[in-house]
Structure 1
Amino acid sequence: MIAFRLGVLLACLQCSIGARILAFIPLPAKSHHFAFWPVFRELAARGHQVDYYTAVPLPNPPKTLRQIIIKDLLADLHGQMSMKGMMELNAPGQTALISEMSLYVARKLFEEEPEVIKLVNSEEKYDMVILEAYFAQEYATALCHKFKAACVSIVPLLDATWVNEMSGLPDNPSYMIDFKADTTDRMTFIQRLKNVYIWTSTTLFSYYYTVGPQQEVADKYIRYPGWESRPSVVQLARDMDLILVNSHVSLGYPFPKAPHVKEVGGMNLAPNKPLPKDLQDFMDSATDGVIYFSYGSNVDMNELTREGKFDAFIKVFRKLKQKVLWKWKGSEIPKVDAPNVKIQEWFPQQDILAHKNTKIFLTHGGLMSLIEAINHGVPLIGTAVFGDQPKNLRFVEHVGIGVQLKYDNLTEESLTWAVNEILGNPSYKNSMKKRSELFKDRPMTPVDEGVYWVEYVLRHGKVLQPASARMPFYQVYLLDVLGTLVVSALLALWLTKRTLRAICSLCCGSKQNVVPKSKKRQ
């Protein structure tokens, strides 16, 4: 008993002293960083030393969070693909696009970024490495091997086939849906057929298209004494101590997860803050309500203008009794002759959604926006662009918390219908209220839960990981056992057939050798 208490005391002392944590998140996808910033901040606040490599710096970091700012290497790629082009990508096309972006960033980092080159050659000691390994960044798992540290992967999306494959609990496509699938978990035969295609193509494409170049990047750039004996990046990606996923049962469909996969969706949520005075006055005076319009940080609003969609929005907004706040991402903010419309480059989104007069959120269906809308109980009108957005908005329709408009159907008539439908039908608000209660009903905050599991792994190591995570796919799927059974069955059939033939031959041969007595007398 004394030994047990001493062990617990030593484990707590280790965490109270603080661990050294490397957070290597080089891909400059802003929403991915926003989702996990609070965990990095809280880990630092609890006394851990966090070294954060990022192109999206955290504002006002704690003293024990050291930010190593790297260049936004995706800036050159922005605008190379149109909004419509992204919508037309199929599942393998989306996987390929993500892979190419990640590889472009990786090669540039290791060739041109002094701080990253310095990291590879450093003799620093880390207790844990946090990565975004499953978003086509498997190469970074080599850092876990270099520093002989516990390895944690963060996942900014909901359900992902590749994450489940790597965690040792592969998808069952009869009801488990990849984030690229535009369906619910209640599928028709045709939808299940399509889901099998997405599951198969994503898995095979990841194994045979994505992983090879990832291995080449690791072998070429991440070299240190002993790297030659390093396991493959697939083996390292499977060997995670912990996987933190930005999901929750209220945000999607329930499905089984491996023990080391923990749902901590909602970490991006912040306490409500007072609005700037001009915004506070604008919203307080909106007696008929406010509509908030934002397509996130990646969608260029200028495309709405180029494709004639901008005029449709303005015509609808002018006719409304409600006021409109429109977040504009683009080269130039347009001037609008509508007193009820306010367009700016940035708005405090969470604080606007928290205001009692906010009636509708016009969104692209990004996960962060979905989380914030559900948290504050604001119904949605969504238009999906890329990635997980079609699936998110299909979920929104399925549970009755909003409506979806296809991009090609963004017209004055469809927008008018959608706004009137949400404002005139109380079921959307009621469903959103119930969904919000479900989202908030949890034993601890998402940030506290995320930090708890990180510190749990620091204390106890790789105790959550199932054996299947490190097994080759043919063992996980029992292909070797099934193959043996099939071969054994075929061999048994063959032997049975040969035996029966032999018996028949003996019987027939015996009959031919028996001479009738009558013939003998003659």
Structure 2
Amino acid sequence: MLNDNNFQVLLQSNKHFDLIILEYSINDALIGLGQKFNAPVVLLSPRPSSAAENHIFANPAPAAFIPNVFSGYTGFMNFWQRVRNLFLNSYVNLYRRTFDQPFQRAVLNQWISGIELDDAMKNVSLILLNSLPGITEPVPHMPNMIEIGGLHVEEDADVPRDIVKFLDEANEGVILHTGYANRDEAEIYVKTFARLTMKVLWKTDFTYNDLEDITCSGCSVPDNVKLVSSLPQENVLAHKNVKAFITNGNLFDLIDAAYFGVPVVGIPKDLVEETNMALAVENKYAVELSNNDLTEENIIRAIDEVVLNPRYKANAELKSAIIKDQETKPLDRATYWVEYVIRHKGAYHLQSPGIFLKWYQRSMIDIILILGVLDIILFLIFYYIFKHIIHHVMKLYKRKKSEKYVKLIE
């Protein structure tokens, strides 16, 4: 983006903006655009609040019950999980300060000179988060951190006729599969789906010829499987014949599944997806299958569990009711707050005073260190006093004992 000629022309211009909306994904250098054009900045995040967002907004995130996005945990952690979560948070924050922030400063100074990154980040007015209670962890937020999870859900998109026909004719039900698969995994899926009585709608970049070459010479994709390169996911999930959703566990997929009350089989590919799936499993509308245990039997067992056990469907419908029971729609909420920032010239009154503190001041490390030093000094003082008192007492005791011994001799 920064290398784009049109963007460079924009940087050299004197244009004025009332607001800058920036998709935020650890691209702090771009936040400098706010100061460049003297405009407030609103961030749009594709995830819930994490270490990066919490740093910008001085948002508290106790490691005792807020899992790190890379942890694979939920908010209910045992002792050792809390220990690991604490160290993971410390590592992420250390990495951010030591490597990421210097890199972002260098990028900012290269392309937008004369702006300090720390000052630019204080210019951020608000963030819109892809989170919502019931699907993501309920965590504390500053007043300028707004949850708009479900904003992307569309119920009015047109579904291609061939897909509608495929869904309507699926009397035994349909499995929607959108998870990424390499060639070896694709072969396992083809063999697995051939054993199902249900139909499978598979969103994949593989073609029918690709899968026939992958599986075996002369083999064909099972008749119950339909391959598509793209589809209106939300509208497919809304179909009454869709019984389960196989996904890698990205947050958008889980929100879609919960919104339409469809149980999930999650096969995560990375740590973030593992964390997403951990909460979905805890909420009992999903089962998780390790990518290392991807076999025909395990996939069928997971599908049977979510399709045949009614608790998964019931819990998915419960999540659907929670998502839909909101005072305002996510889009209306996002619109209101964006306009609010414009109306109030940045709405800086929503900012926490914590953004003006150094990281060690926010954690009160400076106070803890000073108190620790004072404790050590006081300990040494009292130790020195007691040592001399004891020494003096022992000296008196020995003197009296010596005098008593002399009297006995006399």
TM-fit CA distance, 1:314: 1.7
Look up the match of 1:396: 280
Look up the match of 2:189: 313
Distance 1:330 1:282, change over 3 A: closer
Look up the match of 2:237: 353
- RMSD between aligned residues: 2.6
Does residue 358 of structure 2 align to residue 467 of structure 1? no
- TM-score of the two chains, using structure 2 as the length reference: 0.89
Distance 1:376 1:508, change over 3 A: closer
User: What amino acid sits opposite 2:64 in the alignment?
Assistant: S
TM-fit CA distance, 1:285: 1.0
Look up the match of 1:84: none
TM-fit CA distance, 1:235: 4.3
Match of 1:175 among 65, 69, 72: 65
Look up the match of 1:338: 222
- Cα distance in 2 for residues equivalent to 1:368 and 1:374: 10
TM-fit CA distance, 1:279: 1.6
Query: What are the equivalent positions in structure 2 for 1:51-450 lying under 5 Å apart?
Result: 109-110=1-2, 112-133=3-24, 135-223=25-113, 227=114, 230-231=115-116, 233-295=117-179, 299=180, 301=181, 303=182, 305=183, 307=184, 309-330=185-206, 333-335=210-212, 336-450=220-334
Contact persistence 1:137–1:214 (CA under 8 A)? yes
Partner deviation per Cα, 1:148-171 (whole Å, 9 max, x = no partner): 111222211124122223221242
Partner deviation per Cα, 1:183-234 (whole Å, 9 max, x = no partner): 11111222222212221111111110111111011111113xxx1xx33x24
Distance 1:505 1:125, change over 3 A: same
TM-fit CA distance, 1:474: 1.7
Distance 1:395 1:500, change over 3 A: closer
Distance 1:356 1:509, change over 3 A: closer
- Cα distance in 2 for residues equivalent to 1:512 and 1:389: 73
TM-fit CA distance, 1:510: 10
User: What amino acid sits opposite 1:270 in the alignment?
Assistant: E
TM-fit CA distance, 1:356: 0.8
TM-fit CA distance, 1:500: 5.3
- Cα distance in 1 for residues equivalent to 2:397 and 2:274: 75
Look up the match of 1:22: none
Contact persistence 1:239–1:469 (CA under 8 A)? no
Distance 1:319 1:120, change over 3 A: same
Specify every segment of 5 or more residues in structure 1 that has no aligned partner in the other structure, as ranges.
Answer: 1-108
Partner deviation per Cα, 1:307-363 (whole Å, 9 max, x = no partner): 2x2232222212222111111125875354322111121112111101111111111
Distance 1:205 1:235, change over 3 A: farther
Distance 1:322 1:471, change over 3 A: same
Q: How many residues align?
A: 393
Contact persistence 1:361–1:379 (CA under 8 A)? yes
- Cα distance in 2 for residues equivalent to 1:235 and 1:418: 50
Distance 1:508 1:349, change over 3 A: closer
Specify every segment of 5 or more residues in structure 2 that has no aligned partner in the other structure, as ranges.
Answer: 213-219
TM-fit CA distance, 1:260: 1.3
TM-fit CA distance, 1:501: 6.1
Q: Which moved more, 1:264-273 or 1:490-499?
A: 490-499
User: What amino acid sits opposite 1:338 in the alignment?
Assistant: P
User: What amino acid sits opposite 2:200 in the alignment?
Assistant: V
Contact persistence 1:317–1:324 (CA under 8 A)? yes
Contact persistence 1:157–1:179 (CA under 8 A)? no
1:249 is paired with a residue whose SS is coil
